[in-house]
Chains A and B, each alone.
Chain A
Amino acid sequence: MAIAEGAWREVALSDDEFRRIVTLLGRDPSPVELGMFGAMWSEHCGYKHSRPWLRLLPTDAPWVLEGPGENAGAVDIGDGLAAVFKVESHNHPSAVEPYQGAATGVGGIVRDIFTMGARPVALLDALRFGPLDEPRNRYLFENVVGGIGGYGNCLGIPTVGGEVYFDPSFNGNPLVNAMCVGVARHGDLMRAKASGPGNDLVLIGADTGRDGLHGATFASVDDPKASHRGVIQVGNPFLEKLLLEACLELLRGDDIVAMQDLGAAGLTSSVVECASRGGVGAEIDVALVPRRETGMTAYEVMLSESQERMLLVVRPEGLAGVRAIVERYGLHASAIGRVTGDGLVRVRDGVEVVAEVPAMLFTDACPTYQPEAREDPGIVRRRTAPLDDIPDLTDGDAGRRVLLDLLGSPNGCSRRAIWERYDHTIMTGTVVAPGAGDAAVLRLRGSARGVAIAIDCNSRYCSLDPELGARHAVAEAARNVSCVGGRPLAVTNCLNFGNPQRPARAFQLREAVRGLAAACRGLDLPVVSGNVSLYNETAASAVMPTPTVGVVGVLDDATRHATMVWRSGDEILLVGGDRPSLGASEYLARIHGRTEGSPPALDLDREAGVQRVVRDAIAAAALRTAHDCAEGGLAVALAELALASGVGATIDGEPPAGATNRLDERWFGETPSRILAAGDASAIAGLAERCRAEGIAAFRLGSARGDRMAINGLGEWDLDELRAVHERGLAPLEGVNGQPGVVP
């Protein structure tokens, strides 16, 4: 069948790309082949606009067991164990059907982890929405949180961390990034490389329906709502739970050669990737794929994104055993084809061959682009705008009011309303739970060790300076891991950007990747996995560039960790830090409505040093309380500690002033590489001494006590007063509580 003029545009291929396909094949593609190319050469699968830059990221270290290229990365955490992790986006589906979009995002990332042979032990989520006073944003927020909880809670995987921020740039472009961490014994790690011609390809899990046709290309078209697409996927966590247990049991035997989940571009991408990773071919018959619906075409079966499916490469002699195990979980296994030696992906529909293409053409031959990158002059202006017209906090009550406002603001308030909807106590491994510390800490059964996990990105920093902002994201995520006592080991990332064909967005993407690379090198953190989500842009706006960074670290002894809880009588020490400044700060944005100025400078050596002294003190059991100073500066960080502890503080010390010695700069200004530590007098003296020896700045700020917080020169608050505003911030609004609809 000839391809109709322009049919390639329906699958988001350009005219040039179509010509390239014809040249590579030496003929027109068949309709099924065209659909498969569209999916494989989409941004989502082909990384057309990001691959050249992703090469800048450091990926090696002696402790890396699996770097980018597999379904997830893996690092050695000692005792013969590996941590397996990745973060992935589900932004576009969540913009249209937030509950299911977020739920299936969790389902997808969890499959990536157990495909590697690891048992998933933790989930985290990084979310961005437009302001919550818009009903549409409130609806997205409620249902995204509901969907993440709905899926993860049912699976029985604790959701132990995450972050959420609100900004008008996310109107119509919510970001929903989910991270999963699993644990495996080194020897149990599984890869997704097909090998051994003659081995069976076996599909297990859900039946195939018309779900999410064109999902992979959907994210590459400017307006996802207007674009032509199939049915939104609806996830079934119960089925995923069965699939998870079945797969982990299968991997304990010797019959599985490789395992690959079906995600974006469904069967197409899993068959192609399995074959191309292994340098082999594959032949499947779509007639053997169990369907949920009648009348599905070969094209639809190949591109369906039905959830909860897994492709196995099985030794033929093991097929019966595999089937028996799978059926014990109430699932069925269908042998749909086999591995071949000819390097071709051949798709049959019964006797008819509907596609036959060398696997490499779908992967290696995918074009890459380095689009023109140019910074938006408007951003340069905002970054360099003078801030000296901002009035300082001179009026007697102003400092008091600012702290209350920041603590109660959407970006500064308690996230309890979110994490209480996630089961974070299941699996009885959560040592530091959400809200209790800067990173989650999990204990590992059968080992004294713990794993620390944090996810972070300051989108505002990245919007004003993507390179520096991305460096901050790595530093802050690592700092959070150090604050609980974890030794950061490696990074996963999710690059959320606008349309890369616009020079200003291409600039942000390129610079952010450079920033990630620089910080990862500087802090010795290899990047082991990640994901790219572009086209987060509507006619009205593009998202603030958001390179989400997940960091996983290890504690040699999980009992030696730190939380945000101080005790009455504790001394408070500020470790590290430079002069704080107002540029790009939360204070400036919230109080003065200005997203301006440059993010603070970041010195990676100093950062590493500050993290090390704090981490070492925790590991030596000399420190139990630590907290990073981030958005909102010192005053906010102190208030957060007081609230987490239920114990107030008297702050009579003088931390470093900003360049102009202003009150607002000192207490609300931001600068990285600062950690608040608290403990009894001798512990704090020891820590201060250690800082002196290492050439790290340290300032005694005061002590914890009572039920009031008093900050020298700024103001005094009742803890109850602080708590009231802090907890109110995300409280549900009357009327739109998690109900479907409200689609203004």
Chain B
Amino acid sequence: MSNGIGVLSFPGSNGDTDALHALTDGVGAPARVIDHRETDLSGMAAVVLPGGFSYGDHLRCGAIARFAPVMAPLRAFAARGGPVLGICNGFQILAEAHLLPGALLPNQTLRFHCFWTHVRFDGLPTAWTGALAAGEVLRLPVAHGEGAYFADDETLDRLESTGRIVARYCDPSGAVAAAANPNGSARGIAAVANEAGNVVGIMPHPERASDPLIGGADGLRLLQSALDFVHAAV
């Protein structure tokens, strides 16, 4: 059993294939899709929860996925310090499962938004951002209807003071400005980490910024970490 990267697939996941390709073709990491009914993640070097609409996501995005069979082993994996990345719907699921603080609300405009954004990474290093320079700005697309990060002020203050705000929306020069915030996220938050820094949720899609031919390859800078996990796990 090789220690590859597991890409979880819920019934309505639609970013699983993109994540798989970005990991395998983009950064050369061994990866495979893991069905939501699987109950063993022990062989995995890292786990990615991809984008999509896990169960149609009518009630709240990620609300039902939180109870999928694979979530119990995922909790155990995360508790052991295993690297977990939730992208878009994956972030929503991790928040619903309380593996990350806060929640994701409908976009301020009530509309689904798909466009390229800039995000600035300036939290403490996490499992998934160790390779990025402090303050590095990546250009990544968003595609979501419910991406407004919310937490109460106390939680936000704590996230801020402990360096767990992994990334914020910014303008191309790296300035975090209201105009760059695409969805009404509190404090412009695009990504957060848990206390241990091994679980990260990010609203923009690194896996879709995986080739200059489709608009950019900045996302690979982030996914590059996956390769390190595989090497470390061998």
Direct contact of A and B (CB under 8 A): yes
Q: Which residues of A line the B interface, CB within 8 A?
A: 146, 149-150, 153-156, 236-239, 241-242, 329-330, 419-431, 433, 443, 445, 558-559, 732, 737-738
Query: Is A423 within 8 A of B11, CB to CB?
Result: no
Query: Is A237 within 8 A of B56, CB to CB?
Result: yes
Instruction: Name the residue in A329, A424, A425, A443 with the highest tally of chain B Cβ atoms < 10 Å from its Cβ.
Output: A425
Query: Is A558 within 8 A of B213, CB to CB?
Result: yes
Which residues of B (107-137) have their CB < 8 Å from a CB of A? 109-115
A242 cross-chain contacts in B, Cβ below 8 A: 11-12
> How many A-B Cβ pairs are below 8 Å?
89
A445 cross-chain contacts in B, Cβ below 8 A: 21
Q: A435 to B78, alpha carbons, bound, how many Å?
A: 41
Q: Which 5 pairs show the lowest CB-CB distances between chains A and B?
A: A156-B14, A238-B56, A423-B143, A154-B53, A425-B141
Q: A236 to B210, alpha carbons, bound, how many Å?
A: 31
Q: A135 to B112, alpha carbons, bound, how many Å?
A: 22
B218: min CB distance to chain A, Å: 13
Q: A154 to B54, alpha carbons, bound, how many Å?
A: 9
Q: A14 to B214, alpha carbons, bound, how many Å?
A: 54
Question: Given known contacts A154-B12, A241-B14, A738-B110, is B145 in contact with A431 (CB within 8 Å)?
Answer: no
Query: Is B53 within 8 A of A238, CB to CB?
Result: yes
B115 (CB) vs chain A CBs: closest residue: A420
Write 12 A-B pairs (CB below 8 A) sorted by A numbering.
Answer: A153-B53, A153-B112, A154-B57, A237-B56, A238-B56, A241-B14, A421-B111, A421-B114, A425-B215, A426-B15, A426-B51, A428-B21
Q: How large is the interface on B (under 10, 10 to 19, 20 to 34, 35 or more residues)?
A: 20 to 34
A442 (CB) vs chain B CBs: closest residue: B214
B111 (CB) vs chain A CBs: closest residue: A421
Question: Given known contacts A420-B114, A425-B205, is B56 in contact with A153 (CB within 8 Å)?
Answer: no
Q: A242 to B112, alpha carbons, bound, how many Å?
A: 22
13 further contact pairs, Cβ within 8 A, besides A153-B114, A237-B53, A421-B112: A150-B112, A153-B112, A237-B56, A238-B12, A242-B11, A329-B11, A425-B143, A426-B14, A428-B208, A428-B210, A429-B214, A445-B21, A732-B109
B26 (CB) vs chain A CBs: closest residue: A428
Q: A236 to B58, alpha carbons, bound, how many Å?
A: 10
B141 cross-chain contacts in A, Cβ below 8 A: 425
Q: A738 to B145, alpha carbons, bound, how many Å?
A: 13
Query: Is A422 within 8 A of B213, CB to CB?
Result: no
Q: A672 to B128, alpha carbons, bound, how many Å?
A: 53
Query: A428 touches which one: B111, B115, B145, B211 (CB < 8 A)?
Result: B211
A738 cross-chain contacts in B, Cβ below 8 A: 110-111
A559 cross-chain contacts in B, Cβ below 8 A: 213
Asked if B17 is at the interface of the complex by the 8 Å CB criterion, the answer is yes
A149 cross-chain contacts in B, Cβ below 8 A: 112
A419 cross-chain contacts in B, Cβ below 8 A: 114
Query: B214 touches which one: A239, A241, A425 (CB < 8 A)?
Result: A425
Instruction: Name the residue in A236, A237, A330, A426 with the highest tally of chain B Cβ atoms < 10 Å from its Cβ.
Output: A426
Query: Is B210 within 8 A of A238, CB to CB?
Result: no
Question: Given known contacts A421-B114, A426-B14, A738-B111, is B211 in contact with A154 (CB within 8 Å)?
Answer: no
Query: Is B11 within 8 A of A238, CB to CB?
Result: yes
Which residues of B (194-219) have their CB < 8 Å from a CB of A? 205, 207-208, 210-211, 213-215
A155 cross-chain contacts in B, Cβ below 8 A: 14
Asked if B55 is at the interface of the complex by the 8 Å CB criterion, the answer is yes
B170: min CB distance to chain A, Å: 19
Asked if B94 is at the interface of the complex by the 8 Å CB criterion, the answer is no
Query: Is A433 within 8 A of B215, CB to CB?
Result: yes
Q: Which residues of B line the A interface, CB within 8 A?
A: 11-12, 14-15, 17-18, 21-22, 51-53, 55-57, 109-115, 141, 143, 145, 205, 207-208, 210-211, 213-215
Q: A363 to B208, alpha carbons, bound, how many Å?
A: 46
Q: A443 to B211, alpha carbons, bound, how many Å?
A: 11
A424 cross-chain contacts in B, Cβ below 8 A: 114
Query: Is B15 within 8 A of A156, CB to CB?
Result: yes
B11 cross-chain contacts in A, Cβ below 8 A: 238, 241-242, 329-330
A239 cross-chain contacts in B, Cβ below 8 A: 56
B145 cross-chain contacts in A, Cβ below 8 A: 153
Question: Given known contacts A156-B14, A425-B215, is B56 in contact with A236 (CB within 8 Å)?
Answer: yes
B40: min CB distance to chain A, Å: 18
Q: A559 to B212, alpha carbons, bound, how many Å?
A: 10
A211: min CB distance to chain B, Å: 17
Query: Is B17 within 8 A of A427, CB to CB?
Result: yes
B18 cross-chain contacts in A, Cβ below 8 A: 426-428
B215 cross-chain contacts in A, Cβ below 8 A: 425, 430, 433
Q: A65 to B143, alpha carbons, bound, how many Å?
A: 35
Q: A433 to B116, alpha carbons, bound, how many Å?
A: 11
Query: Is A426 within 8 A of B111, CB to CB?
Result: no
A552: min CB distance to chain B, Å: 20
Query: Is B207 within 8 A of A428, CB to CB?
Result: yes
B203: min CB distance to chain A, Å: 14
B14 cross-chain contacts in A, Cβ below 8 A: 154-156, 241, 426
Query: Is A431 within 8 A of B214, CB to CB?
Result: yes
B207 (CB) vs chain A CBs: closest residue: A428
B109 cross-chain contacts in A, Cβ below 8 A: 732, 737
Instruction: Name the residue in B114, B145, B205 with the highest tally of chain A Cβ atoms < 10 Å from its Cβ.
Output: B114
Query: Is B112 within 8 A of A423, CB to CB?
Result: yes
Instruction: Name the residue in A330, A423, A431, A443 with the highest tally of chain B Cβ atoms < 10 Å from its Cβ.
Output: A423
B45: min CB distance to chain A, Å: 23
B210 cross-chain contacts in A, Cβ below 8 A: 428
Query: A425 touches which one: B55, B111, B112, B114 (CB < 8 A)?
Result: B114
Q: A421 to B145, alpha carbons, bound, how many Å?
A: 9
B214 cross-chain contacts in A, Cβ below 8 A: 425, 428-431, 443
A426 cross-chain contacts in B, Cβ below 8 A: 14-15, 18, 51, 143, 208
B208 cross-chain contacts in A, Cβ below 8 A: 425-426, 428
B56 cross-chain contacts in A, Cβ below 8 A: 154, 236-239
A429 cross-chain contacts in B, Cβ below 8 A: 214
A442: min CB distance to chain B, Å: 9
Query: Is B15 within 8 A of A737, CB to CB?
Result: no
B114 (CB) vs chain A CBs: closest residue: A423
A734: min CB distance to chain B, Å: 12
A420 cross-chain contacts in B, Cβ below 8 A: 113-115
B57 cross-chain contacts in A, Cβ below 8 A: 154, 238
Q: A241 to B13, alpha carbons, bound, how many Å?
A: 9
B167: min CB distance to chain A, Å: 18
Q: A423 to B113, alpha carbons, bound, how many Å?
A: 8
Q: A242 to B55, alpha carbons, bound, how many Å?
A: 10
Q: A429 to B25, alpha carbons, bound, how many Å?
A: 14
A416 (CB) vs chain B CBs: closest residue: B115
Query: Is B22 within 8 A of A238, CB to CB?
Result: no
